[in-house]
Structure 1
Amino acid sequence: MAIQRILIANRGEIALRIHRAAHEMGIETVAVHSTADADAMHVRLADHAVCIGPPNATDSYLNIASIISAAEISHADAIHPGYGFLSENCKFAEIVEAHDLKWIGPKPEHIVTMGDKVQAKKTAGELGLPLVPGSDGAVSDFNEARKIAAEIGYPVIIKAASGGGGRGMKVCNSEDQLETLMQQAGSEAKAAFGDATVYIEKYLGNPRHIEFQVFGDGNGNAIHLGERDCSLQRRHQKVLEEAPSPVLSHEERMRMGGICADAMAKMGYRGAGTIEFLWENGEFYFIEMNTRLQVEHPVTEAITGVDLVREQIRIADGQPLSVKQEEIEFKGHAIECRINAEDPWTFAPSPGLVTYYHASGGMHVRVDSGLYAGYKIPPYYDSMIAKLIVYGRSRNGCMMRLKRALEEMVVEGVKTNIPLHQELLRQPDVESGDYTIKWLEEWLAKREG
């Protein structure tokens, strides 16, 4: 039976994004919300709404029992997890399917495989994806670590096998630092993720972060929708993303995209996924795979014309991919700015009452946001309040349109990072696309100095 009612197990702009795609397909939506989000836009627009707990995410958006109960009482027949929260929680995916609900996401076993960095790297290698030189798996013995580091050459990076976000990661420049940094990385990983397991890789000096959007039907068919360049990062958190990457040729895009799509076909992957790479000196190195929709998916939608959320719903409903690889055309350029409620220079969160809000508009300007005047941004969740996505026929045209759109966007009552984005777009390196994952932090440090 076709999906008729989707429970959206998320909040904010992504919950709205899923609601809109569902309604365009004639599907009803159920919003779940904490008490802090009772007046949120995704709650106001959904067909049905269920309160699932107090403000703390642990007691609401991460409360599996409450979400399943909400699905049952609202008679939902599918659950979309969005991104963050429970989107890559295999236990949640298994429980959803055990309750005869459709899980709008990958197979639980693929979430497990790609959620463990050591297993993900091993699987990626078996599937033909290029790897960063490093240990074959977890490393606990110091003598073994010393041998591996000597073979691949310093500097090396010690990483937590579980989790992400930069926690449990240490760069080691010489053997005399290795033992201490291994212990520190293991301790951080244990505290953050409950798992002290670490592994070792070659540390790439100044790479770019380039990721490929993939889609599989779960039956051995898969496509790619090109790459996104997400190199402008601060503390491993993306700030601005663009597609296509300024450094790849069409031939490189199709070659690497083909390798990614073939890997997903071999895996029997289902739904949306993103394969992330570091890129340096013309070479790609697999770092991880995200088994969910990405925050930056709109830039891919802009240059391909494919609605990724609609595609997710179709695949979960057992339908085939709506496009073949040869039908996908890459046109123009798109950039996304993440708009956060925070001080643009200290990055201190700035929750509170939005007294005035005006979204940017005009040709090829998209704003994904749940903001409105009178909305109170709660202090309990991520500070991202909007995404500004702009498309142009050329990268330069896209940049000019983005500058104009940022001038138009007004959010009063709280601080936002709009001034940061405006300043970034004035930098020659950003204008030319000549930046790496280290660029933003180095630029911020110089600015403060």
Structure 2
Amino acid sequence: MTAPRNLTSVLVANRGEIARRVFATARAMGMRTVAVYSDADASAPFVADADIAVRLPGNTPAETYLRIDSIVAAALRAGADCVHPGYGFLSENADFARAVQAAGLVFVGPSAEAIDAMGSKLAAKARMQEAEVPTLPSVDATGLSGSELEKAAADVGYPLLVKASFGGGGRGMREVRRPGELAEAVEGARREAASAFGDGTVFLERLLERPRHVEVQVFGDSHGTTVALFERECSIQRRHQKVVEEAPSPAVGPELRERLQAAAVAAARSIDYLGAGTVEFLLDDEGDFYFLEVNTRLQVEHPVTEAVTGLDLVRLQFDVAAGRPLPDSALRPPLNGAAIEVRLYAEDPARDWLPQSGRLEDLHVPADAEFRLPHGPGIRLDSGVAPGSEVGVHYDPMLAKVIAWAPDRTSAALALAGALERARLHGLTTNRDLLVRVLRSGAFLAGETDTGFLDRHGLDVLAAPLVDAERLRLHALAAALAGAALRRATAPVLAGLPSGWRNNPTQAQTTVFDAGTVRYRLDRGGLAADVDGTPVEATLLGAEVLAPGRVLIELEAGGLRSAFEVHVAGDSCYVDEPGGSTALVELPRFPDPSAAIPPGSLTAAMPGSVTRVAVAEGDRVTAGQPLLVLEAMKMEHPVTAPTAGVVTALHVTVGQQVETGAVLAVVEDQPAPDRGEPDAS
């Protein structure tokens, strides 16, 4: 044990919201902050937040945030005396921890030996078995294929998971329910794990049906103290990645909590753990739990623990790294109220969680304050983006974490749903509506959560827009009236007239959106409007231009008065009201014929790299058959045939980079050739 030292300057070896989160605590502790950034992140808010920023040339993680030598050199050049790894990237890389320490810097995290011990999920499971922590049956799949692989799977038992040994965040993971799916799942997991983590080692593990995902926050210091700071439940997941997290778990009572915390502390002590870590378990209906993994870093969901304990976990990380003992407040913390966090992603749940990229036109979530610590009642927002930010294809598409605290779980859930519903999220499709529906669902409010929650309740229900068809017609009308108001605001004559107003009966004004065609007349008789021929009975009460591109439209319909804030950005219109939001695209009056895409074309939904091509021109394919695989935003996205037919064109090869909208292949719906009747002779 060494004497405590003062840390004065920290380099955060990460990006986005976690860099901003660490900077906030570091500034509160009087430390100087240093950012590293890729070329793609040059204009990102976290770069401006730092006192000093060091460029890492390149765009991809492999070129930038995964370069140990570049990051250590940046820390030395900037005069930092410690490095905080955040989460993701190099945060669980033992070689990085060693390189930081070898350079004479303090690594704000556990020892390299502890990271090594938990870096391989296979090795970690063996270690936990020695510590008498319950684990699920598993087997290493390295080098196995054919009958050997099939036998190993049979020994583990179906259903099973193929998991990357050095993976995380759901990448390099496949679910297998029958032997015929095994080989493809193992190959896909190996390929994805090698791409994401630089190691394609995978193993097979028994799949526990409909478990809860419960984890325990642990902390250890260099004075021999190891504590557990209660549990979090992270059961609601998509693609094995957490979407909703909460503390405490609605399934954990005092007796189970004591057992979970004792197992987590035993796991941490078995590797002499220092700093913040998380021991993850799967919990079944009988109250039995099984070790999943140890995350040797701060977790994305750490704010919910902060909210219920009043602790600043990043401050504790710095204290432990500086050699100070954990304070009394961390040894016997209270469990106060309930906190829920949701991850707000730029993705489309209704299209198989397709990640989105592009410009974020606006982001505003009603929140008390950013990074307010300790947290009392209300809403907290942790975000790495701002209006005008570009969401690229190189990194995870999470826009923000929104956290609610309240004295009880139901109040926290409803407050969080209300804040999300009132949020302005313009420019990209997000999972906001799904999050609101989850938080307000009877099953969630009753605490009936497990890892199959989204599948069981169905995306057809959970991913449905908050704005129903009737309300959508009002939104479309408001968008059309807002466009007219903006045009009227720039008119050189008669500027005082209402937008779209006519002195005499005349032909209706027409605005064509992707969601429908709006026709309206505004004259002495009032407003007459329809959307796709369905009348919209409404009275226009006001149209006020708030700022360039922003209009407040007030309508009365069915005796109810509503205000719609409309943001017009190019051909996109975003309509917000407290009950939900709509994004509309105004279509051109005279489309360019050259822009038409041939029937049967399969286009890229985002920029990406082609990692696999499974067909050739002239091949006959069936509906749903995989044609090729695109890799973008650290995930593989299969492109499948929309119908049975023939591949008449194939425009890509393995390794090729494609842009959004690029035609990848063309599948024409052609009947199978008639081979005639068989010869009876």
TM-score, structure 1 normalization: 0.91
Q: Matches of 1:261 and 1:34 in 2, distance apart?
A: 38
Paired amino acid for 2:434: L
Take 1:445 and 1:398, find their aligned partners in 2: how far apart are those partners? 23
Letter in 1 for 2:364: H
C-alpha distance in 2, partners of 1:172/1:413? 37
Q: 1:26 aligns with which of 16, 19, 30?
A: 30
CA contact (8 A) 1:186 1:196 kept: no
Q: CA deviation at 1:190?
A: 5.2
Structure 1 residue aligned with 2:317: 312
For the pair shown, the structure with the greater C-alpha radius of gyration is: 2
More helix by share: 1
Whether the aligned pair in 2 keeps the contact of 1:186 and 1:197 (CA below 8 Å) is no
420-429 or 155-164: bigger deviation? 155-164
The CA distance in 1 between the partners of 2:122 and 2:436, in whole Å, is 39
Give, in whole Å, the separation in 1 of the partners of 2:73 and 2:155. Answer: 53
1:344 CA drift (Å):
4.5
Q: Shift in Å at residue 128 of structure 1?
A: 2.6
**One-letter identity of the residue aligned with 1:423:** R
Once the 2 structures are TM-superposed, how far is the Cα of residue 224 of structure 1 from its aligned partner? Answer: 0.6
> How far apart are residue 413 of structure 1 and its match?
2.5
1:210 alignment partner in structure 2: 214
Question: In the TM superposition, what is the alpha-carbon distance from 1:266 to its structure 2 partner?
Answer: 3.7
The match for 2:225 among 213, 221, 225 is 221
How many Å separate the matches in 2 of 1:112 and 1:150? 30
Post-superposition Cα deviations, 1:316-342, rounded to whole Å, max 9, x if no partner, equal 111111236652111110000111122
For 2:59 and 2:141, how far apart are their aligned partners in 1?
39
| Worse-superposed segment, 192-201 or 1-10 | 192-201
**Contact in 1 for aligned 2:216/2:278 (Cα 8 Å):** yes
Match of 1:334 among 339, 352, 359: 339
Moved more, 331-340 or 129-138: 129-138
Query: Could you tell me how far 1:353 is from its partner in structure 2?
Result: 2.8
Look up the match of 2:47. 43
Does residue 85 (structure 1) correspond to residue 89 (structure 2)? The answer is yes
Aligned counterparts, 1:38-437, within 5 A = 38-135=42-139, 140=144, 153-173=157-177, 177=179, 181=182, 184-185=185-186, 188-189=189-190, 192-193=193-194, 195=199, 197-280=201-284, 281-323=286-328, 327-346=332-351, 347-362=353-368, 363-437=377-451
Question: What TM-score does the superposition give when structure 2 sets the normalisation length?
Answer: 0.61
Mapped contact 1:118–1:137 kept (Cα < 8 A): no
CA distance in 2, matches of 1:148, 1:220: 41
Give per-residue Cα distances to partners, 1:12-68, cap 9 Å, x unaligned.
110000000101111111011112222222211211111112222221212222211
Cα distance, 1:168 vs. partner? 4.7
Gaps of 5+ in 2: 369-376, 465-681
Q: Distance in 1 between matches of 2:199 and 2:240?
A: 20
What residue is the counterpart of 2:619 in the other structure?
A: none
Single out whichever of 36-45 and 381-390 deviates more from structure 2: 36-45
Partners of 2:256 and 2:287 within 8 A in 1: no
Alpha-carbon distance, 1:227 to partner = 0.9
Question: Matched residues in 2 for 1:295 and 1:249: separation?
Answer: 24
Deviates more, 1:47-56 or 1:438-447: 438-447
Q: Any conservation in 1 of the 2:139–2:156 contact (CA below 8 Å)?
A: no
Q: Is the 8 A contact 1:276 1:289 kept in 2?
A: yes
Q: State the aligned residue count.
A: 446
SS in 2 for 1:372: coil
1:16 aligns with 2:7: no
- Deviation (angstroms), 1:90: 1.3
Residue identity over aligned pairs, in percent, reads: 43
3-state SS of 2:458 partner: helix
What per-residue deviation string (whole Å, max 9, x for no partner) do you get for residues 132-157 of structure 1? 13449978487777777666654344
Unaligned runs of 5+ in 1: none
**Contact 1:233–1:441 (CA under 8 A) maintained in structure 2:** no
Give the CA deviation at 1:6: 0.1
Higher strand share: 2
Deviates more, 1:300-309 or 1:432-441: 432-441
Query: What's the secondary structure of 2:348's corresponding residue?
Result: coil
Aligned to 2:46, the other structure's residue is in SS state: helix
